[in-house]
Amino acid sequence: MAEFIATMVSEALEALEVAREMCIDAQQHTEATQNHAETLQELNPRLGFLRREWTTQSQYLQNIETGLRQSHDKLHNMAKDKIEQFETINTELFETLETLQKREVEPCLQPPRSNPSKVAKTNGLVSNSTDGLSQTNGTHVSPDARENSPILPAKPMTLYDLIDDEGLRAVWGQAKETIQKLERSNQAVDQAYREFQTLELDQFDSFEDLSLDQQHIQHQCAKQTDELDRMLGDLESISHHASQMQLVAEDPSLLTQENLAVLERDAEETDVIVNELREGLAFIQAIREEMEIRTHQYQLFYADLKRGLQRIFEFTPTITRLFSTLLRPSMADLREGEGTDLGSSSVGGGGGGTGAPLETRAELLVAECGNLRSWYTEFARAYDYLLVEIDRRRQVQHQHARMAAEFAHHLAALHATETQERDAFTQLFGQYLPIDMCAPLLAPAPSYQVETVVVPGDLPEITEVALQQAQRNITQGSAAIGSTQELERHISSLEL
């Protein structure tokens, strides 16, 4: 019996120790849960405020992003179109200018070289380079030096020497500068758009999934507290059973048959209570882990949200800059364009307009370059027709002179014949007729002259080589520089 009692006492004390440790763990878990609950209660309103602030700021930035995207798309497409148009016109313009430099002016049609700065240009081709309208040979020689130097003879004058290349350079330079501004503006908007992409404005859209109802927090804490109270009650029961077993071990006389049955029943229930304590501890621990995970998530989200807002605040100066210079790039260029007047161009009546927006100036300047190309094309064609017209007029002049000479000779022969007829009549019958019978018979034969109206200046003589070249160009539709109809269709495609 003594051994049986000792065994029961040992099992009761062991169960008491296990129950006490589980209750201590449960109490610690409960305290940790309470701390997490307090943290969540403090974070929840802060997160709500930050979330509302983020929503406001992100919506504001999304509106800016939408404006940037629209500005980016519009400027990108417009810049692409204008750059392509400028490159096309630029290529055609340089081809036309190269054609003008290859066409030598007939010596008989060359004007006096009264503009040294103009005539002193070398005959290097106008190059389609990054330097624009530049000469491939940079040596400048004065007219006197060309005419007097036996080593460096005068260069033949070409059609290019007869155009206003200074006006051309001015218009072309403004067009190129405007196109470069379009490219820079396009690159700036691209960079700004990429900066907005790095803000990741949708990174906190999952906030609603993290929301935890305050009532749920209180409910979980209450359930955990109730479970802890139940465990403490079980611990008290196990402690009471262990105390009874210790009393019986000290005084075996207290162990009656009835008491023995009660103690055995309590011993069996102790095992059940210990299992219930394990389940209760697992329940309390699960609630603590839930709160711990939720708290960790909230803390991370709170830190991330603060950093996100901080990035937005730090981005504010950039936003201001973008509003003033990127979303409306033409406004900055409007100030730069003040005082610019393309209406003074020597060719055409177009113009960029003072203070015109960047897009408008680009359109007008590209069109002005196209007009220059058209004018130079027509200039070369007109020169071909000029040579043909000069030769035609010379032929007509020679034909008319020959016909006049032949007609004058014929009139003179008629006059001589008529004079002979009248002389023969007078010799045969004049002596028998009274003088006053018909006075007009005494008049000499009528005489006619062919009068030539002299026009000041003689038409120059065109060389056969130049004339044949002009006729080929006209016959081929001026293939070397493109037809006028094709140019007009291209200019119309600019949709100005």
Q: Note the pLDDT tens digit of each residue in 114-126.
A: 554 443 343 333 4
Give the pLDDT confidence score for residue 205 in this predicted structure.
57
Q: Which residues of 261-299 are buried (b: 16+ CB within 10 A; e: fewer)?
A: eebeebbeebeebbeebeebbebbbebbebbbebbeebe
pLDDT of 140 higher than 70: no
Last residue of a domain, one of 301, 334, 367: 334
pLDDT of 131 higher than 80: no
| 202 and 284, same domain (yes or no) | yes
Neighbours of 242 (CB within 10 A): 22
Question: Max alpha carbon distance in the chain (Å)?
Answer: 215
Give the pLDDT confidence score for residue 323 in this predicted structure.
62
Read off the tokens for 259. 């008491």
Q: What is the tens place of the pLDDT at every residue in 362-411?
A: 888 888 888 888 998 899 999 999 999 999 999 998 999 999 999 999 99
Q: Is 133 helix (H, G, I), strand (E, B) or coil?
A: strand
Q: Domain of residue 106: give its range.
A: 2-334
346 inside domain: no
Segment among 96-105, 287-296, 358-367, 398-407 with least mean pLDDT: 358-367
254 inside domain: yes
Give the pLDDT confidence score for residue 494 in this predicted structure.
42
Segment among 194-198, 245-249, 436-440 with least mean pLDDT: 245-249
457 inside domain: yes
Give the pLDDT confidence score for residue 370 in this predicted structure.
86
Last residue of a domain, one of 275, 306, 334: 334
| 327 and 453, same domain (yes or no) | no
Q: What is the mean pLDDT of residues 248-260?
A: 60
Last residue of a domain, one of 334, 349, 372: 334
| 208 and 107, same domain (yes or no) | yes
| 298 and 399, same domain (yes or no) | no
| 179 and 284, same domain (yes or no) | yes
**Cα–Cα distance measured from residue 304 to residue 311, given in angstroms and rounded to the nearest whole number:** 10
178 inside domain: yes
| 79 and 25, same domain (yes or no) | yes
**Between the ranges 10-14, 65-69, 277-281, 340-344, where is the mean pLDDT highest?**
277-281
| 431 and 296, same domain (yes or no) | no
101 inside domain: yes
370 inside domain: no
**DSSP letter at 104?**
B
| 116 and 32, same domain (yes or no) | yes
| 240 and 327, same domain (yes or no) | yes
**DSSP letter at 125?**
P
| 45 and 148, same domain (yes or no) | yes
**DSSP letter at 343?**
G
Give the pLDDT confidence score for residue 490 in this predicted structure.
46
Segment among 190-204, 302-316, 345-359 with least mean pLDDT: 345-359
- Asked whether 360 and 101 are in contact (CB, 8 A), the reply is no
pLDDT range class, residue 482, cuts 50, 70, 90:
very low
Percentage of residues in the chain with pLDDT exceeding 70? 69
| 328 and 413, same domain (yes or no) | no
Number of separate domains in the chain: 2
48 inside domain: yes
| 54 and 154, same domain (yes or no) | yes
Residue 488's identity, in one-letter code, is E
354 inside domain: no
Q: Is 0.75 surpassed by the pTM of this model?
A: no
pLDDT range class, residue 191, cuts 50, 70, 90:
confident
Instruction: Name the burial class of residue 233, with classes exposed (0-12), middle (13-18) and buried (19+) by CB atoms within 10 angstroms of its CB.
Output: exposed
